Amino acid sequence: MKFTSGYWMVRKEITPLYAVEYADHRIIEEIGAKQLVIYAPASHIEKRGDQLNLGMLTIYLSSPAEDVIKVSVRHFEGAAYRGPFIDVQAEDAASAQAQVQIEETQTELRFRSGHTTAVIDKRPGMWGIRFYDDNRLLTESGYRNMAYMKNNDTGKNYVLEQLALDIDEYVYGLGERFTPFVKNGQTVDIWNEDGGTASEITYKNVPFYISNKGYGILVDNEGDVSFEIASEKVERVQFSVEGERLDYYLINGTTPKGTVSKYTALTGKPALPPAWSFGLWLTTSFTTNYDEATTSAFIQGMADRDIPLHVFHFDCFWMEGYEWCNFTWDPKTFPDPKEMLARYHEKGLKICVWINPYIGQKSPLFREGMAHGYLLKKTNGDVWQTDLWQAGAAVVDFTNPAAAAWYQGKLKALLDMGVDCFKTDFGERIPVRDIAYYDGSDPVKMHNYYPYLYNKAVFELLEKERGRGEAVLFARSATVGGQQFPVHWGGDCSASYPSMAETLRGGLSLACAGFGFWSHDISGFENTAPADVYKRWCQFGILSSHSRLHGSDSYRVPWMFDEEACEVLRTFVKLKCALMPYLYRQAVLSHQEGVPVMRPMFMEFPSDRACEPLDKQYMLGDSLLVAPVFQASGEVEYYVPEGKWYNLLTKKTVDGGKWQKETHDYFSLPLLVRPGSILAVGAQTDRPDYDFYEDVCLLIYLPQDHSTAQTEVTDLHGKTVMRVRAAREGCEIRVQVDCEKGSYQAEALGVEGLTVVESNV
């Protein structure tokens, strides 16, 4: 939201109140936590009378974790401040408080947490807060930046902050955004909507951005936060919220990767998905005509073509139309679902079914939910309903614990029948006008927060019934903290190369908020892709953390496109299964450290300026670079960081520090091994869940003399069972393997004449 007209003028309907100078401060200790409270009047004070009839901002500084500073800007503190609020999970509050130091000089106040310091200027008329990483300036708020704005036309009030952007500073993130990857110059409103992948609106809005300078800003407000990223003042990132208070966290991890790790320490790290979920998912598609004969034919068709299949998903019409959701199989289409699921399990498949949080009026659950008060209500006591999506649809009120338990009970019956996981669709179409939640939550803030409660309820049921490490969703909508409940997918894309590229762009933006596991509809949801796009998207889709064939009104089995599509899909699914020892170790690291498996190049190479704008390639873990092909010609242009890299598919080395332009057929693409890597490759190519440590092949890539590498291999529970170290001296690579169980062989990649020598102790 813009409040000014150019640099000097404020819009005619706006009355501003700026923090102008420091007036006083206090130090408050509550439950062992220190807060620095600063009072900043809206005008310079020269004499006593200047203090009269004057507004003031009150600013609280605190620290929930080391190197994290929370700033709370308040105008009228007596105004109601309702939740929901971001669930901040301070890892070690006592340790964080021990790091807090507050110092005062004649001209400054300094609030320090770890290596991060907020410096408040006390000089008359010189208001400002500067944030430092030790002595390195990160950003600052100064003259006419922190403000309270009154709109005289609407009667609405806003609090805003403007933080400085440095020369060549870029901003990333703010959720799964399909607009340009670098957010400078954009206006972004944090408001979940069902808008596909081809516009500025999105399903997963997260009021958190990171800078290439290595810090991040999280706005602690679940409502409609508005960001102006170098788009109102080109030297500033502005963010504003309606009301009397604005809270934000400055998170300093020194590097983008370190900051994402600290952010997820605050908001929750991703759960570790089961290994089977990394395999190939196939769905019925959305509005296609299917029954048990159809789904069985698809499953058998994949087996006949030797294409490993691991999860089968039933989309909406597993339930009868008009009754979404009744959580009951349509008897006309699936007369004996329990027996059908048992047969599919015997084939080694896991089963997923589509759900959403809406209850159509024709569903028997509507009357049941209405009778018990489980459905979202208007302020007059009526159940809120809409004809959008399903006739007379209502929304489950997950702020009511009894409603959440009721909803979970319906899903438990499906789990007992043989369902393994759920696609938690929707969660964006949540009303805000004349709405009364069970727990009194602010309806505007609940709009974005709703999918957090929805996915949390389903995920917790899966953890309870299937056990930790076996729970997995396929979720579309999300907000802060949603990364705890993987997996998320990119929503409704189109069957074209531009949509394929915008899908990746959205996934990389989402990765900046610590979403460790992400997928998308291979070959696009809307329309039907030509065989060319299908085959290229299969490469990209299988080399994502999670891989699903899904569409709208046509099937996505490869033989519907051409026979070569079957070969391409088979090749890459088997490749992914073989890479599972490496990929699952990366998944464990994502779970432990909060760094996404698929990550943008700038996150992995923060000192390489050429990586900063890249959005058509990514790192798959810390050792593999993937550059999908987005051209029918097979041409791909991509950037390689410094060093000599190795293409795992073509067996050719690639010189880094420059751009590469290549042409690939459907069975290859740039899949580069980073120098100084050990790639653990498994012995099985037909499934993703096996004993990774049995007959594992350790592919060691040390193109530079005197270089070293290390890695680990885990079991299916994420426990490390094999530690590997390698060092090159001349033409010899010495390998040490500390192995609790399993067997292995080691090979050198990419350099002729190297000998691998074991040096175990």
Beta-bridge partner residues of 257: none
DSSP for 630-677?
-STT-EEEEEE-SSEEEETTT--EEE-SEEEEEE--TT---EEEPTTE
- The set of catalytic residues is 425, 428, 492
Give pLDDT, residue 761: 44
Question: What is the pTM for the complete model shown?
Answer: 0.97
Give pLDDT, residue 91: 61
What is d(CA 466, CA 483) in angstroms, rounded to the nearest whole number?
Answer: 20
176 DSSP assignment:
S
Residue with tokens 């067997």: 743
Q: CB-based contacts of 487: which residues, under 8 Å, 6+ apart? A: 273, 277, 472, 473, 474, 475, 517, 518, 519, 545, 546
At 608, the amino acid letter reads D
What is d(CA 591, CA 265) in angstroms, rounded to the nearest whole number?
Answer: 11
Token representation of residue 677: 């890597």
Distances (CA, A) of 133 to 113, 137, 213, 267: 10, 6, 10, 22
At 746, the amino acid letter reads A
Give pLDDT, residue 452: 98
* pLDDT < 50 positions in the chain: 761
Distance of CA 171 to the CA centre of its chain: 16
What is d(CA 611, CA 604) in angstroms, rounded to the nearest whole number?
Answer: 9
Give the pairing type, strands 24-30 and 14-18. Answer: unpaired
Token representation of residue 678: 């050990």
Give pLDDT, residue 591: 98
Residues 71, 162 contacting (CB under 8 angstroms)? no
Residues 308, 687 contacting (CB under 8 angstroms)? yes
Token representation of residue 531: 């065989």
Residues 350, 281 contacting (CB under 8 angstroms)? no
Distance of CA 582 to the CA centre of its chain: 21
Give pLDDT, residue 759: 81
Give pLDDT, residue 98: 76
Give pLDDT, residue 33: 85
What is d(CA 714, CA 692) in angstroms, rounded to the nearest whole number?
Answer: 7
Token representation of residue 566: 């079957």
Cis omega (within 30 of 0) for bond into 588: no
